Structure 1
Amino acid sequence: MTDAVPTELLADRLRRAAEFAAEQDTDVLFLTPGTDLRYLTGFDGASHERLTCLIVPAAGHRAPPALVVPKLEAPGFADVPLEALGIDLLTWTDGEDPYLLVSDLAGGPTRMSVDDGMPARHVLALRDAFPDVPQSLGGPVLRELRMRKDAAEVARLRAAGEAIDRVHARMGEMLRPGRTEAEVGADITAAIVAEGHAEAAFVIVGSGPNGASPHHDVSDRVIEAGDVVVIDIGGPLPDGYNSDCTRTYAVGGEPSAQVKETYAVLQEAQERAVAAVRPGATAASIDDAARTVITEAGHGEHFIHRTGHGIGLDVHEEPYIVGGNELVLEPGMAFSIEPGIYQAGGWGARIEDIVVVTADGVERLNHNPRDLVVL
């Protein structure tokens, strides 16, 4: 339960979700436990084989929202303000058909949407319960709410950024020649929790040639003097909002002139992309700002991923900062700016900050140095 979210705000989110559902031409939205349900109700729990499902009728339908919950799990919703939110609670026990209960409550929809993270076992069972009703993904409904952060959400992301900055500031305690990536990763994991996160969602320690793999994890490779090391780390604070920040380090001595020259290109690309963020710009234009710098310097083939992703209750969510995405940026949208250059078999580098679109520009949520830090 995200008890810091005011009930009035949750009620407003539910109301707007119903309105967006109507705009997306769907009659009812079905959500199982996950970040979408947490966003609308404050409930933080997992989806299991027993069906828990929030039913949100589109605006204009008379039926109120309803929550179908296994009776043995109903106590877990004691702190969710269901009555204040106007949500009817109905329970079921083993041996009963919860999908029949859902179909009764949904009131004969002709169009239905399921949340993007719903387990297939429930998606298929709902399809059987509504054999003549087309299913669509609920992502287009929820993203209209979730990708525009309110002031409270921005404050939470700001706190998450500060927490992960404190971990990067401690990297000299952990990252040094003679240690394995796994050993460094274990220390970083502990530091992430010590600095206020609920857990470490991911820890990438990409040393030497492993740094050229953007989603490398950790390994038993021993870090050597002269290595360039990519450290990409993050996780949720107890309130569920995530951090995500990457810095690149040179370990055990000054890097080569070639590394310095290439890194300077990357640093310029990241600066240009951040500077391009403003209301009215498109997501694609931010990607282009970074990609143009890297391509003109001769490293275009070594920048092998999008420039960024949205962040909030999920580490990766809308909006995606990628070529072809003509989404117009608006105040409150939060996302990463993380160009990278990867020399296969050699080394890699990435710089990542979380930024938020403001009324007249951009705010960075990470503030540690973006230079190639020598440890």
Structure 2
Amino acid sequence: MSEDVASPTPFTGEDYRARTRRVAAAATEEGLTGVLVTPGPDLVWLTGYHPTAITERLTLLALRADGDPVLVVPALERHDAEVAEGVTGMEVIDWSDASDPYLAVASVLPAEGTYGISDSAWALHLLGLQQHLPRAAYRSLSDAMPMMRAVKGPEELKRLAAAGAAADAAYEEILGVRFRGRRETDVAGDLADLLRRFGHEQVDFTVVGSGPNGADPHHEAGNRVIERGDAVVLDFGGLRYGYGSDTTRTVCVGEPDDELRRVHEVVLRAQEAGVQAARAGATCQDVDRAARTLIAKAGYGEAFIHRTGHGIGVTTHEPPYMVEGEEQPLLSGMCFSVEPGTYLPGRFGVRIEDIVTVTDGEAARLNNTDHGLAVVA
């Protein structure tokens, strides 16, 4: 990997304030009274604040179109919250262990209305809010505002590009590692080490699916010893500069047989078709259809058992989703995976995945390693 990828400029307080204003305005357009954000990716994206420990103690950001943001935090975590870039200047209300945090939230919110609430909110907290705001209704943010984080700004795109480049570098290095005679967990450990070496601060997954295990799209690397002739699905990613990487390539230990070559070529053409369909103005399902049609025509339609892609940002899986029935138009700045696959139970699987970003023209790939069926030792 070229290490001349410039470090992104840190997000400023104004960057975060622009996001909170935009979300509050979008909530009004959606008919919401406000947005309630609990610890998780939404809170990190809106404030830069990541509580040191996500516990049963309530932390909640309340966004309202008719008022300034308010952050409710446990008293013992107030200092950590206030030094976060996006919290500076925001009203912070703390509560002690001897008090009721839901009363603190209820004191700053209208008693009636409909609130969007983070998908990651604990049921404990939602039930507490319902008790103190019994005339209010709640909708998950993935339902009410699924595109909240979908369109990335220039600095976010830099982070995603850096994460993609680091994942590419890890793949290029892993091709020189010995596969045959080693366990899947050994290769997965190598991948995790390489992701960290090339700048990832967090490794989220290292799928190593060898032989028949490759027919399970979310196979957890296990103790199976990789053998000569195995197809091996390598799917790995994590966070660099706080933004995600996710890429998949399929390799073969020794020379592949004709069937593996044939299936790999079908998936390769399907992946290219999906990328070509990822243009501004097309819909999410157009990407899925473009890839799925090619696999179905080749006779493997029943073996493509998952959606074609998912959004990526401060998490490695987020809206939008490239799946049949999703008519959300693609907008310039959206980033997502294009990852068709074919899975033959008891035999092998093939998947090829790149992260792409939508531009005014054709989609730009954030992964640029060779898509061919690489032969490894």
**TMscore range, shorter length:** over 0.9
Q: Give 1:137 shift.
A: 1.5
Whether the aligned pair in 2 keeps the contact of 1:114 and 1:136 (CA below 8 Å) is: yes
Distance 2:272 2:142 in 1: 31
Alignment partner of 1:73 is 2:77: yes
Shift of 1:24: 1.4
- The aligned counterpart of 2:250 is 248
Q: Does 1:50 pair with 2:52?
A: no
Kindly state the Cα deviation for residue 93 of structure 1 after the two structures are TM-superposed: 0.8
How do 1:1-375 and structure 2 match up within 5 A? 4-45=10-51, 46-57=53-64, 59=65, 61=66, 63-81=67-85, 87-140=90-143, 142-237=145-240, 239-251=241-253, 253-375=254-376
**C-alpha distance in structure 2 between counterparts of 1:82 and 1:116, whole Å:** 21
Distance in 2 (CA, whole Å) between partners of 1:304 and 1:82 is 41
Shift of 1:175: 4.1
Q: Describe the SS at the equivalent of 2:244.
A: coil
TM-score by length of 2: 0.94
CA distance in 1, matches of 2:231, 2:137: 51
Q: Counterpart of 1:370 in 2: which secondary structure?
A: coil
Query: Structure 1 residue 205: deviation in Å?
Result: 0.4
Cα deviation for residue 113 of structure 1 reads 2.2
For this pair of structures, how many residues does the alignment match? 368
Distance 1:155 1:140 in 2: 28
Higher mean C-alpha deviation, range 300-309 or range 22-31: 22-31
Give the alignment's TM-score, normalised by structure 1: 0.95
Give the superposed CA RMSD: 1.5
Deviation at 1:217, TM superposition (A): 1.1
Secondary structure (helix, strand or coil) at the match of 1:117 reads: coil
Residue aligned with 1:174, SS: coil
Contact 2:147 2:319 in 1 (8 A): no
Identity of aligned residues (%): 42
Equivalent position of 2:4 in the other structure: none
Worse-matched range after superposition: 144-153 or 107-116? 107-116
Q: Deviations over 1:158-207 (max 9, x none)?
A: 00000000110011343420001011111211111111101210010000
Q: Which runs of 5+ in 1 are unaligned?
A: none
How far apart, CA to CA, are the structure 2 residues paired with 1:372 and 1:164? 18
Q: How far, CA to CA, are the matches of 1:236 and 1:175 in structure 2?
A: 26
Question: Using a 3 Å threshold, how does the CA distance of structure 1 residues 81 and 169 change in structure 2: closer, same or farther?
Answer: closer
Task: Sort the Cα spacing of 1:193 and 1:124 in 2 relative to 1 into closer, same or farther, 3 A.
Answer: same
Counterpart secondary structure, 2:336: strand
> SS of the counterpart of 1:145?
coil
Query: Is contact 2:252–2:373 with CA below 8 Å preserved after alignment?
Result: yes
Cα drift, residue 110 of structure 1: 2.1
Q: Hey, what's the Cα distance between the residues in 2 that align with 1:83 and 1:297?
A: 54
Gaps of 5+ in 2: 1-7
Conserved 8 A contact 1:244-1:315: yes
SS of 1:65's equivalent in the other structure is: strand
Amino acid at match of 1:20: A
Query: Which of 139-148 and 30-39 deviates more?
Result: 139-148
2:55 maps to amino acid:
H
Change (3 A) 1:64 1:293: same
State the secondary structure of the residue aligned to 1:348.
strand
Query: Does the CA contact (< 8 Å) of 1:266 and 1:341 recur in 2?
Result: yes
Maintained 8 Å contact 1:278/1:360: yes
Secondary structure of 1:149's counterpart equals: coil
CA distance in 1, matches of 2:86, 2:342: 49
CA distance change for structure 1 residues 139 and 262 in 2, over 3 Å: closer, same or farther? closer
Deviation at 1:8, TM superposition (A): 1.7
